[in-house]
Structure formats: C-alpha cells, structure tokens
C-alpha cells in the first residue's frame, strides 16, 4: 500500500460573499497564495466517480497538482434537518468545490472517492463557519495529511495546465530548420551500463529506473551520478520484463529461473522498504515465458502474455496482484504472438499489439473488447497512451507510428510519422505530460519528437549508435531519458 502527502482545500461562496478560497494548505496561507486555488479549481458538476485533475506551474510555492470534485452545496451542511441545495442571497445555487493539493507534478495519482471523502466532513465544518461571514476573512489553513492509495481510482477530467507550461510544451515552437540542426544535439548526461537497456522510466525528476536486459534493474541518480542495483539477476535467474507502477512506488519483474523444470516468476519490489514478494509462480510446461506485461493504473491487475513452448493458441492472462490468481478467462483475441501491452492512465483500458501488426483495445474491468485495428503491416513493437485524451500511438517494425482513438469505439486517426524504410522499426514511444508531444526511439539510434496535433516531426536527437529501446519523460517535463542496445542511458534537456 502506498501513500502520498496532501492538503485539503475548499472553494465556494456563501449567502453574502462570492466564490473564494475557503480552506487552503497551511504553506499556501503562509505565502499568501491561497487565492490561486479559487482561480484554478473550476469546472461543472460531475458524477461521483469522476474528479478534475489540474497541474499548476511556477507558483510562489512551486509546482502543484490539484485533484478536486464539484458538487452542489447541501442545505444539511448548515442545518441537518433541512434538505435541498444551498442558495445565496440572490437565489443562486452554490457549488462546493473540494479536493486536495499535492506538492510537485504528480501525474494522474490513483485517488479514490474514499480518499476525498475522508476530508469531506472536515471541510463541511469549515464551510459552516464560512457561511456566517459577511466580509472577507483569512483563509482557513489545512494541515498535512497522509492519504493511502488503495481502491478503485476516480476517472479524471483533465483541465489545461495553469501558469508557465513545462518546457516539453514549448517544443511545438521548434522550426523545421531546427530539425536539420538537431544532428548536433548532445545529451545533458550519459550513463554506460553493463548490458543492453530495454526499459527505463523516471521514478521522479532526479532518478531513473533502468533495466539492463536479463541482468539487473538499476536506479540512476541524476544529481549524484550514483548507480544503485535494485534487483540483480544471476547465473540461472534472468530478468525478462520490468514495469513500474503508476505511483512509482513498486517495481514488477517477470523472471525466468532455469532448472528442472524451468520456472516463471512474477515479483514485486517495494521501493520504500526494499521488500521483494512473489506474486505468481508457474512451470514453463503449464504456462510459459512472460514476453509482454503491463499493470492497470490502480495496480490491482497485471496483463501478461506468456509464450508457451508449443502454443495451441495466443492468449493474455489477467493476474490479480493480491492473490496471484488468474482473474476471469484468458483473453484470446490475438492470433499471433503478443509483442507489447500497455495500460491507459485515464480509464480501465489496456491495449496489446502482436506480430501480425494488429492492435487490440479492451476493458479489463468487464473483459469487453473495444475493437481491433489492422493498420500495421508488420509487428507492433511499442504502444503509448495519451495522459490527456482517449488516444494511443503504436509503432511497428516498418518504422511507422499510428494514432488510434478509442473514446467512441476504435478509430484509426492516421499516421503520426515514420522512420525511413532503410533504418528499421520503432521500438519505443512515450507521451509528454501535456499529451502534445510523442517521443519515439528507433533502430537508427535516434530519438524523435513529434507534434501529436499537427502530426509533424519537430526535433531529432542523435547520440546512440545502436537501436533505442525505451524513452521516458521526467515528471516535470524538462528531461527526456533514452535507453539503447549500445548499453547507455542518455538524458536530454528539453528546452
């Protein structure tokens, strides 16, 4: 179970005063910036299972993330015996905007309705005091609380970022002439490891998790240049797949342990206490080697494709993280080996790509197929979901990157870009936090940046001399990491 530190806040109006910040974090009150919440927490009434998500940049107290809900203020907040909706002195219904503030940019935290509900009664008490105000008074400060992230997360409605945007957004202003000069680009820093890098992700803005294929999982500290071995393979233990949970607190690995018989083990590594736990173990004869794996945004299930030695069918299994058992029936929509699986940060959606170029999109909650896309001619190597809207991008061995929408069924939205035919395929894809830029890594050793809206190449980063296998944006959007078969991790400054 993971936790985050947060502060409660409330924006509303009463019978005499118009909308204002009623409750704000103590550190914002001290810095006289509490009014910022009244400017940024906005929106219409939403359903119980939804919440607004907004990023705030470059405020006096630093970058912030706010998650909040908009509901109708109830008369019982003031008088328990009265039903109905509160109205001001002009007869206008009053909205109750309540939520939490988190320091830093915390991308799409899996907050539940129970998390927000824990603060509700406290905020109602504060609002009861505010109801009697006839003139503006000091904002009520809230103290730091620890929220446990467990349960089904709310569905986010993302509001455009407020304030100075992260530098990744400014990439859209790069001209075509800058692309021709991008061959001169050099990374801010480079780390040479002992093996090919097939997976990497930012843990935070200063640390990168890198998977040295079959050998180790390593944490790179960009401030100290320290390399820490998190998980080590061995003579008969091979780390085949690595994945990071959405809250960057847990690392999942799929391992092969050679012996009689060979064993396939899915493990969880807790970054807070360094405890390693077996989630599931099987014999190769019964299941197979995990060739593709991804975890739901709330971290409750894993979708894994296990390649059997003599497969009779192609299927994906949903593994319950707590029990280790298989949830529901095996999903047999693919007709060829599954090469990649990814989950959406917005909803209960997974997408999987196979060796025949097919992308399948499906809902893991109800195990319903949303649709399939047969737009790739060759194997799909990488998939990435937008953090802002219901679209994904997929890259193939032909070097093409396709855009697919899935809001109302499945929709082929065309070609984002492509590598030249002679340089091979696309191996890695990642969205920037604002959802406007896609980074790709290919067989030519280059990292390319694409404008998702205009579908154009805006920058090209050279430095690797072998295929790029993974790319990742930092949480603050200012850095991009790339990992390659040349055994290096390169960190690029995005400006």
Among the candidates 123, 140, 163, a domain finishes at 163
Distance from first CA to last CA of the chain, Å, rounded? 36
In a shared domain, residues 123 and 264: no
The ranges of the chain with pLDDT < 50 are: 1, 164-186, 260, 284-285, 421
Distances (CA, A) of 250 to 119, 208, 258: 26, 13, 25
CATH code assigned at 236: 2.130.10.10
- The answer on 270 and 213 residing in a single domain is yes
Please work out, in degrees rounded to the nearest 5, the angle formed at the alpha carbon of residue 475 by the alpha carbons of 470 and 476.
125
In this structure, are 184 and 136 located in the same domain?
Answer: no
> Tell me, what's the pLDDT at 327?
79
Q: Domain limits at 410?
A: 167-493
What count of other Cβ atoms lies within 10 Å of the Cβ of residue 479? 22
Bridge partners (DSSP) of residue 354 are 338
Question: Is there a contact between 154 and 98 (Cβ–Cβ < 8 Å)?
Answer: no
Does residue 157 share a domain with residue 198? Answer: no
Q: Quote the pLDDT of residue 9.
A: 96
Q: Tell me: the pLDDT tens digits for 21-72?
A: 999 999 999 999 999 999 999 888 888 778 899 888 888 898 899 999 999 9
pTM: 0.63
From 143, 163, 183, the end of a domain falls on 163
190 and 145 in a common domain: no
Say if residue 454 is in the same domain as residue 375.
yes
Q: Which of 400, 393, 284, 288 is nearest to 337 (CA)?
A: 288
Predicted pLDDT of residue 2: 67
Residue-level pLDDT at 393: 96
175/156 same-domain check: no
**Measured between alpha carbons, how far is 353 from 340 in angstroms, rounded to an integer?**
5
| Co-location of 242 and 312 in the same domain | yes
If asked whether residues 238 and 289 sit together in one domain, one would say: yes
Domain boundary (163, 190, 213) is at 163
126 and 174 inside one domain: no
Pair (199, 297) in one structural domain: yes
Quick check: helix, strand or coil at residue 135? coil
Q: Which SS3 state, helix, strand or coil, does residue 76 take?
A: helix
Residues 180 and 154 both lie in one domain: no
Give dist(CA 319, CA 314) in Å, integer. Answer: 16
> Total domain count for the chain?
2
Distance CA 342, CA 385 (A): 8
Render the burial of 113-136: b for 16+ CB within 10 Å, e for the rest.
Answer: bebbeebbebbbebbeebbeeeee
């Amino acid at each position: 179970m993971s936790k985050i530190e947060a502060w409660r806040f409330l924006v509303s109006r009463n019978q005499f005063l118009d909308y204002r910040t009623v409750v704000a974090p103590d550190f914002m009150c001290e810095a006289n910036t509490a009014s910022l919440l009244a400017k940024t927490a906005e929106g219409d009434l939403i359903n119980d299972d939804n919440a607004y998500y907004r990023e705030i940049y470059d405020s006096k107290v630093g970058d912030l993330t706010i998650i909040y809900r908009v509901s109708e203020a109830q008369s019982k907040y003031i008088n328990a015996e009265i039903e109905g909706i509160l109205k001001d002195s002009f007869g206008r219904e009053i909205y109750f905007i309540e939520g939490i503030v988190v320091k830093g940019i915390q991308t799409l935290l899996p907050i539940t309705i129970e998390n927000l509900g824990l603060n509700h009664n406290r905020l109602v008490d504060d609002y009861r005091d505010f109801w009697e105000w006839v003139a503006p008074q000091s904002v009520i400060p809230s103290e730091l609380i620890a929220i446990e992230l467990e349960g089904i997360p709310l569905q986010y409605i993302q509001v455009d970022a407020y304030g100075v945007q992260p530098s990744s957004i400014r990439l859209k202003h790069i001209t075509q002439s800058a692309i021709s000069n991008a061959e001169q680009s050099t990374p801010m820093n480079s780390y040479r490891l002992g093996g090919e890098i097939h997976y990497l992700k930012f843990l935070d803005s200063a640390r990168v998790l890198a998977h040295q294929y079959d050998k180790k999982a390593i944490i790179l500290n960009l401030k100290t240049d320290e390399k820490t071995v998190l998980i080590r393979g061995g003579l008969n233990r091979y780390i085949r797949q690595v994945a990071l949970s959405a809250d960057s607190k847990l690392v999942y690995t799929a391992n092969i342990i050679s012996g009689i018989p060979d064993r396939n083990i899915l493990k969880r590594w807790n970054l807070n206490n360094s405890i390693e736990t077996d989630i599931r173990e099987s014999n190769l004869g019964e299941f197979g080697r995990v060739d593709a794996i991804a975890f739901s945004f709330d971290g409750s299930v894993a979708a894994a494709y296990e390649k059997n030695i003599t497969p009779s069918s192609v299927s994906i299994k949903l593994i319950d993280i707590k029990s280790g058992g298989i949830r529901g029936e095996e999903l047999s929509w693919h007709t060829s080996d599954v090469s990649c699986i990814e989950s959406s940060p917005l909803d209960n959606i997974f997408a999987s790509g196979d060796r025949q170029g097919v992308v399948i999109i499906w809902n893991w909650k109800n195990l319903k197929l949303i649709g399939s896309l047969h737009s790739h001619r060759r194997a799909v190597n990488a998939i990435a979901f937008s953090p802002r809207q219901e679209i994904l991008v997929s890259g193939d061995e032909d070097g093409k990157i396709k855009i697919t929408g899935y809001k109302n069924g499945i929709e082929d939205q065309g070609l984002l870009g492509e590598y030249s035919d002679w340089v091979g395929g696309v191996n890695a894809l990642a969205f920037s936090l604002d959802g406007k830029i896609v980074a790709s890594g290919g067989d030519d050793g280059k990292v390319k940046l694409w404008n998702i809206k205009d579908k154009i190449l805006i920058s090209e980063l050279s430095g690797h001399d072998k295929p790029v296998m993974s790319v990742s944006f930092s949480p603050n959007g200012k850095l991009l990491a790339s990992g390659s078969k040349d055994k290096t991790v390169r960190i690029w400054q995005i400006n």
